[in-house]
Amino acid sequence: MTPSPRHTESSGSLLWIKDPDGIHTSAPDGADASRGLVVDTEAGVITEVVGAGQEPTRYDVSLAAGGSVLLPGLVNTHHHFYQTLTRAWAPVADAELFPWLVGLYPVWARLTPQALESAVTVAVAELLLSGCTTAADHHYLFPDGLEEAVDIEVDVVRRLGSRALLTRGSMSLGEKDGGLPPQSTVQDHDTILEDSRRVVDRYHERGEDAQIRIGLAPCSPFSVTRELMRDSALLAEELDVRLHTHLAETIDEEDFCRERFGLRTVDYLESVGWLSDRTWLGHGIHLDNGEVARLGAAGTGVAHCPTSNMRLGSGTCRVLDLEEAGAPVGLGVDGSASNDGSNMIEEVRAAMNLQRLARGPANVPVRRAIDWGTRGSAAVLGWDSIGVLRPGAQADFALYRRDELRFAGSHDPVASLVLCGAHQADRVMVGGTWVVEDGAVVGLDLERVLATQREEAARLIG
C-alpha cells in the first residue's frame, strides 16, 4: 500500500493540492484543473485551479496528491442523525414506511440528550469519512427532556468540523387526532414555532462560509397539522430561512393526503404556501407529469434518497424529469434506520445505478451522478459556494485513495470511485482545515465513540 499524501513544505497559508490522479470539479464551466488546486487555508477558500502544463500563480505549501482522486466535498440533503441508534432493528427490517414508522416511534420516544449526542457523533463522523463535508439533518423528535435537540446537534457539528444545515423539525398531529405518531412524540403548535424562532436567532449563520445554517421542517403531511405547515412557511419567510419536509414518498402518504385534505401531495403543498424555491422535499417519488412541471416552475428542490427508497420499497424518484423541468435535485442518505448507513459516496453509486435502471446508462453518466451529490445537492440547499471546486468556493473537498483491492485493474480514476464502489476518503478538508487525515476523523476517539453508541443503542431498545 502506498503512503497517504504528505506536505512537502511546512509553512504558509496557500496550499497546492498537487497532481491528483483525477479530479472532478463539478463546476459548470468545466475549467481544466488536472494539476489540482490552490487553497488559502487561512481564509478557507479555493484561490486557483491549475490546468495541464501549468504552475500555480503562487503557493506556499504543496501536498503531493498522486495516487488520489479529488472531488468536491459531497453534500447530503436529507438525513436523520438520531437514527444511527436503531440500525438493522429486526422487528422492522422487512417493513414498508408506515409500519416501519409505527414500530420505531415508541423506541425513538425514549431518546435522551446523551443518546442523541452519541447518535449525531456517529452520523457526522461516518459522513465525513465518506467525503461528505455538508449535511442537512431533519430532526423532528422532541420528547420530554430533549427540548434542546438542535443545540446538541450544533455542538457536535462544531466539534467535528463539518458544515450542516440543521432543520428544526416538528410533529404536531398525533394518533388521537388522526396522525401516525404517538402522542408522546408530538408538540403543540406554539411551542414548535417559539423554539423554531429561538434556534434560528441563536445559530443561523448567513454568510457563504457559514458552518451552521438552520431551516424549518415540519415532518410530513401525516404527522403535522395544516396550520403548522402554513405558519412554518410564514415564519421561514419572515426569518429568511429554508423549508423542508417529507413529501410524496409512498402511496400510503398520497392516500392519507387525499383522505384528510382532499388533495394530492403537491396540491396540499401549494395550499399551505410551500410551493417555492425556499422549499426542498425529502424523496419526491410519487409525482405525475403535471406535478413535476409545477415543482420545476417553482424551483422547489428534491432530495433523492435511493438506498432508503430501495430498502423500504417506496419507489424511484424521477430525477431526470425533475431536473429537466427546472427543479434542483440532490442526494440524501436519509435516516440510518432505513439505509442503514451514512455514506455519501456509496449514495452516489446507488443513485447512478437506480437512475440507470429507469433511464439507461447513456442518460446517467458517472459524472452526472457525482454532480447530484455535489453541486446539485448544494443547489437544493441554496448554498452557492459549496459542492464545487472553483476559485472563490469554500475549501471543502475529499481525496480518495485507490490502492484497495476493489480498484485493482481500474482505469478512469474518477469513474472508478463510483463504478468500483469507493467507500471511504483518505483526507477531507472543510473550510481550509483537515478534518479527516489518513482515513480517521481528526481528534475523534473512535473506540470511545463506538462503546458509547453500543451502550446507548442497547438502552434505547430496552
Pair 229, 272: CB distance under 8 Å:
yes
pLDDT in the model for residue 3: 43
Fold for 74-381, please state it: TIM Barrel (3.20.20)
Pair 283, 262: CB distance under 8 Å:
no
pLDDT in the model for residue 58: 96
All residues at 6 or more sequence positions from 217 whose CB lies less than 8 Å from its CB, including other chains: 138, 140, 167, 168, 169, 170, 243, 244, 245
Phi, psi of 331 (to 5 degrees): -115, 150
What's this model's pTM, rounded to 2 decimal places? 0.97
Single-letter amino acid code for the residue at 422: A
pLDDT in the model for residue 9: 42
Pairing relationship of beta strands 132-139 and 163-170 according to DSSP bridges: parallel
Q: Give the residues of the chain that fall short of pLDDT 50.
A: 1-10
Pair 134, 388: CB distance under 8 Å:
no
Best CA proximity match to 156, nearest among 140, 141, 135, 170: 135
All residues at 6 or more sequence positions from 274 whose CB lies less than 8 Å from its CB, including other chains: 229, 233, 243, 245, 300
pLDDT in the model for residue 10: 44
pLDDT in the model for residue 439: 98
pLDDT in the model for residue 7: 41
- DSSP secondary structure letter of residue 339: S
- Per-domain residue ranges for the chain? 14-72+391-441, 74-381
Measured distance CA(62)–CA(11) in Å, rounded: 10
pLDDT tens across 319-340, in order?
A: 999 999 999 999 999 998 899 9
Q: How far is CA 124 from the centre of its chain?
A: 10
pLDDT tens across 256-309, in order?
A: 999 999 999 999 999 999 999 999 999 999 999 999 999 999 999 999 999 999
Question: What are the grid coordinates assigned to 84, written together?
Answer: 444511527
Q: Cβ atoms within 10 A of the Cβ of 134, count?
A: 29
DSSP 106-158: HHHTT--HHHHHHHHHHHHHHHHHTTEEEEEEEE----TT-TTHHHHHHHHHH
| 14-72+391-441 and 74-381 in the same fold | no
Domain 14-72+391-441 belongs to what architecture?
A: Roll (2.30)
